[in-house]
Amino acid sequence: RLALVKHGQSFKTMAITINGNGTITGISVGGLPDGIVDTDMIATNAVTAAKASGSVQGITEVDSWRITSSQTAAGGTGFFTSNWERDDTSFEKIGTGVTESSGVFTFPSTGKYLLTPFAYFYHSRESDYVGYQLHLSTDGGSNFNIRLELYDSAHGESAYGAVTGQEIIDVTNTSNFQFKFGWNVQYDNATFRGDSNKSRTGFTVIKLGDT
């Protein structure tokens, strides 16, 4: 039996049992005096337990891709099917990363992903709109639908522009979910800039958590 004393005052004695699994029984609510349990220890143990149960998760996937050379976009719509590379300038992916084939990207695992597309373009003539589009398939690539559209206009001849945006995608099946990027421009001769040493047109992707 254990007697607890604080400032000369005796507390109720109780039978305390330390069990083989590390738990302690026999302590009633309010049975310990103030200051016995450190609040930092409580917080640390709570985080440890949460990690063990899978309810706390760090960043497990980060990836960044870009086109390595400029792509001329004819008037109307089209897709970026070639000259993709993973960023290799002061960057290293976390996790497996996405995979690419002819401009079509596949997620490494299920989960909720944040995609951040960006594009830098040049147009030789005035145009009301130049668009960069994120297309998503949920049926293994049989059909793609526009998930995100980013538009700017070219004011006057020899105009430059840039767009960026964000979209969160809940990937429930890695075989079915795929994505790719396209353009929608008013007139011919819009050029989406690319480079192998710096990111001009491309995207980043981060896995936020499980689905």
pLDDT tens digits, the chain, 211 residues: what are they? 444 444 455 444 556 677 767 677 776 666 666 665 555 555 556 555 555 555 456 899 999 999 999 999 988 999 999 999 999 999 999 999 999 999 999 999 999 999 999 999 998 877 788 999 999 999 999 999 999 999 998 777 778 999 999 999 999 999 999 999 999 998 878 899 999 999 999 999 999 999 9
User: What pLDDT was estimated at residue 125?
Assistant: 75
CA dist 153 and 190 (Å) reads 11
Q: What is the pTM of this model?
A: 0.74
DSSP3 helix / strand / coil % (the chain, rounded to 5): 5, 45, 45
User: What pLDDT was estimated at residue 69?
Assistant: 97
User: What pLDDT was estimated at residue 5?
Assistant: 46
Query: Does residue 43 sit in helix, strand or coil?
Result: helix
Q: For 16-29, give one letter per residue: b (16+ CB within 10 A) or e.
A: eeeeeeeeeeeeee
User: What pLDDT was estimated at residue 64?
Assistant: 98
Contact present, 202 and 71 (Cβ < 8 Å): no
